[in-house]
Amino acid sequence: MQKRQLFAAAAFAACSGALAQEKPNIILFLVDDMGWQETSVPFYKDETPLNRRYRTPNMERLAQMGVKFTQAYACAISSPSRCSLMSGMNAARHRVTNWTLEYDVQTDVPSDVLQLPDWNYNGIQPEALATERDRKNSAVITSLPQLLKDNGYYTIHCGKAHFAARGTTGEEPLNFGFDVNIGGAANGAPGSYLAENEYGTGAFHVAGLEKYYNTGTFLTEALTIEALKAIEKPLAKGQPFYLYMSHYAIHVPYNPDKRFTGNYQDADGQGVHDEQLNARLDNNEINHAALVEGMDKSLGDILDFLAERPDVARNTIVLFMADNGGQGVGPRQGRQNRDQNWPARAGKGSSYEGGVHEPMIVSWPGVTKGGTVNENRVMIEDFFPSILEMAGVSSYQTVQHVDGKSFVDLLKDPALKRDRTNIWHFPNLWGESQDRAEGYGAYSAIMKGDWHLIYFWQTRELRLYNIREDIGEQNDLAQQKPELVNDLARELTAALKDCHAQRPAYKQTGELISWPDGSVEP
């Protein structure tokens, strides 16, 4: 009897393993600070000079394998996007509206005018493990990797986390349900990409890669090598895996990736002439372009790994996305807020297209048709329900309200057209620019159809743009279309209230600033 029971148990385990293998492997390849034009893959209606600057043959390869989304959006800052991805919540709801780093420390710049709300500067925290200390100024969630793990997936985190403040439970990706964590912590950038610098020191050190020190291995390469090693374990067990390949690239610092810098220099070592800038690339732009190409090489290594295992490749979904727009100020060459994400305006941190428009590609063997384009709009929180649906996880519970809308139907039926209204909420002051003329500062915004309405809290100004006709958002139509402005302002206000969004106040009086529609009630 005992032998029969053991045999039955073994047969059940074998059967369960076989069933588990039928679930698709899922790779989410997330790039940091990558604008929609920082690639040789055109995401605009026409190829642009920026597309011709960059070399991303593996993004081109992935686009030929799957579908390119030309209307993909995220938050303008890293932590809000990553917390939305992990939770399915809009940033207005999870309230991690600016970037996080140290416990109980707000990262906003001070203002003489605005009293900023007490946002969740300690990040997101895993519901099952969060302590009372963790829960202060945090959003407690049921995370995406935890739900995947609970449903049979082997879960791998590789690269940048930036989910929560240092010293909290949420700082460690393993606490969110990842089986493996490679290089992820509270830091939102690497101290250095260079092995000879030990990948940085202090608060921005990338830990856990000591064996690569002084080997000349660029950080992007080291992370890729470790990710591919980690995949071997679930493959050997016949277990489906979720790889969150979350690169630090292409965030500053713009260290030289010498494998690729020569592609952007003449024989004399000077930067090549660039048609967008009508000038030679400076050292920052040479290094930036090399960072992009190194990121693309990582994608190629992963695609090659799959191609060498055809059975695995046929059962692996690859999603490509970025967490916010490309840097439009600071170290970048050219006209600030114009050249870097052209034809979009501004960049990372801004409410304009340059701050929130992202490159997105999805390859799902047997589902997506290679070389196709989808113009339906997607928002970063949509990845949460989409990946769960891809994994066949249809029955799950979360402690948080999920705002994201699955885009799986758009993958399965390319002819499907749907309305997707996007909401942004940033009642904060980003440290790198406060230029409201270029869309920075404390703002909320709504994008519906062809229209993008932006509300600036300090001045209560409303701007309106038709992004189909004016992708560069140069022509403010608010004065010409007051009824449309009022309608969109009311819809934005309703959405913010539904999320229990926080509002800034005026420092002098302590009075909460009115909602976008002009109302003042809670």
Question: Would you say residue 423 lies in a domain?
Answer: no
What average pLDDT score do residues 4-8 get? 36
Residue 272 phi, psi dihedral angles, 5° rounding? -70, 155
d(CA 46, CA 67): 17
Residue 34 has pLDDT above 60, yes or no: yes
pLDDT at 522: 86
Residues 297 and 305 sit within 8 Å (Cβ to Cβ): no
pLDDT at 22: 87
d(CA 456, CA 439): 8
pLDDT at 21: 62
Instruction: Give residue 287's Cα distance to chain centre.
Output: 22
To the nearest whole percent, how much of the chain has pLDDT over 70?
A: 96
Question: Would you say residue 499 lies in a domain?
Answer: no
Residue 14: band (very low, low, confident or very high) from pLDDT cuts 50, 70, 90: very low
Helical (H) or strand (E) element with 44:
none
Q: Which letter does DSSP use for residue 472 in this model?
A: T
Question: Would you say residue 201 lies in a domain?
Answer: yes
Which residue type occupies 154? Y
Helical (H) or strand (E) element with 7:
helix 2-22
Question: Would you say residue 501 lies in a domain?
Answer: no
Pairing of strands 316-322, 357-363: antiparallel
SS3 77: coil
Q: In terms of Cα–Cα distance, which of 360, 374, 379, 351 is closest to 39? A: 360
CA angle 398, 399, 405 (to 5 degrees): 50
Half-sphere exposure of 363 (CA within 13 A, CB side): 22
Residue 80 phi, psi dihedral angles, 5° rounding? -55, -40
pLDDT (tens digit per residue) in 160-177? 999 999 999 999 999 999
Q: Which residue bears the tokens 């049979």? A: 152
Question: Would you say residue 287 lies in a domain?
Answer: yes
pLDDT (tens digit per residue) in 447-494? 999 999 999 999 999 999 999 999 999 999 999 999 999 999 999 999
Helical (H) or strand (E) element with 57:
helix 57-65
Question: Would you say residue 507 lies in a domain?
Answer: no
d(CA 476, CA 466): 8
Question: Would you say residue 285 lies in a domain?
Answer: yes
Instruction: Give residue 472's Cα distance to chain centre.
Output: 22
Residue 78 has pLDDT above 50, yes or no: yes
Provide the residue range defining the domain that includes 288. Answer: 24-418
What average pLDDT score do residues 8-17 get? 39
What is the Cα gyration radius of the chain? 23
Query: What's the CATH code of the domain at 36?
Result: 3.40.720.10
Residue 19 has pLDDT above 90, yes or no: no
Q: Token pair for residue 196? A: 């000879």
pLDDT at 18: 39
Question: Would you say residue 502 lies in a domain?
Answer: no
pLDDT (tens digit per residue) in 330-385? 999 999 999 999 999 999 999 999 999 999 999 999 999 999 999 999 999 999 99
What average pLDDT score do residues 57-86 get? 98
Mean pLDDT score across all residues of the chain: 95
Q: Which letter does DSSP use for residue 421 in this model?
A: -
pLDDT at 20: 43
The total number of structural domains in the chain stands at: 1
